[in-house]
Amino acid sequence: MFAKFRGMYGDINAPAFWAGVTGFVWYAFGAVPLHIAVASQLGLTAAQSSSWIFIIWTSGAVASVALTLVYRIPVPITWSIPGLIYLGTLAGEFTFAEMVGANLVAGVLILVLGVMGVGERIIPWLPIPIVMGMFAGSIFGYVTRLVDATVADFTVAGPAVAGYLLGRLIGNPRVPPVGLAVLFGAISVLIGGQATPEAMTWGLPTLDFQAMDFSMPAVFAISLPMVVLALGLGNVQGLGFLIGQGYTVPVNRISVVIGATSVINSLFGGHPAIVARTGVAIL
């Protein structure tokens, strides 16, 4: 076991480093702002938002590192962006306590299905078009607003897009397109004088057990879609991609880890974990 871990030092090279940096940039500048926006849309308090954000990132990081060390395959465990967007569309229809309870039910279901071996058997027979169609309508509004924001602030968005396209054109793993996009965008912000200092305070994140309320409407509207997203998108697309790349993937064990991580997330206000499809492709 220790020899296997020592052998990993030889795998730390420039392409691997920049792949990790690209993944970090994607989550830091793409996923985190979206998470903050949805938390605001749901009307959460600062403590609730802090607990939610902290637990899902921490549990995902721990699970990712553990699975990577044990199985020597790139398995980024994060959280479902489609699931997060879907929760945002339910603002006003359910209380946060009902969402927390429904997420706990989803985590338990994912864990049980993983123990039963459903995670591996679901890959061949779950129709992806059904999974994709379920949340396609919910993300359409976000996509249109993204285009509007790009057109409205082209002086920043234009250089960022140009940086990304330049990185794709170069095609060198040491020059990540997302990194160039962030760099070009940051330079345009500084040149345009749009960056202004803001007073801010630092503090430890809040991690609190959240109140739960269980209702059948919330279970049907939240729990079941979350299970489908976790096992459907995560297993079929995320793990399926790894299998297609020739990796030997312990699907059932990873499904159990996802279920256990989802249960932990829900206790502190988080939503279910998932094998990150974008992260898998980057890494």
Burial class (CB in 10 A: 0-12, 13-18, 19+), 148: exposed
Which is it for the CA torsion 225, 227, 232, 237, positive or negative?
positive
Q: Which of 53-62, 122-131, 175-184, 189-198 has the lowest mean pLDDT?
A: 122-131
Residue 101 banded pLDDT, cuts 50, 70, 90: very high
Interval 127-173: pLDDT, tens = 556 545 544 554 566 567 656 766 777 777 788 888 888 888 887 76
Q: Dig out the tokens for 79 from the structure.
A: 């959280």
Interval 253-270: pLDDT, tens = 888 898 899 999 999 988
Mean pLDDT of 192-203: 70
Interval 2-38: pLDDT, tens = 555 555 555 666 666 767 777 777 777 777 888 888 8
**Residues in contact with 110: Cβ distance below 8 Å, sequence separation at least 6, in sequence order:** 227, 230, 231, 255, 258, 259, 262, 272
- In what helix (H) or strand (E) does residue 77 lie, and over which residues does it extend? strand 77-79
Helices assigned H by DSSP within the chain: 2-7, 14-26, 32-41, 46-71, 81-89, 96-115, 118-125, 128-152, 154-170, 177-191, 216-218, 224-228, 240-244, 251-267, 277-282
- Under a CB-based contact definition with an 8 Å cutoff, are residues 189 and 154 in contact? no
What pLDDT is attached to residue 135? 43
Residue 191 backbone phi and psi in degrees, to 5:
-65, -40
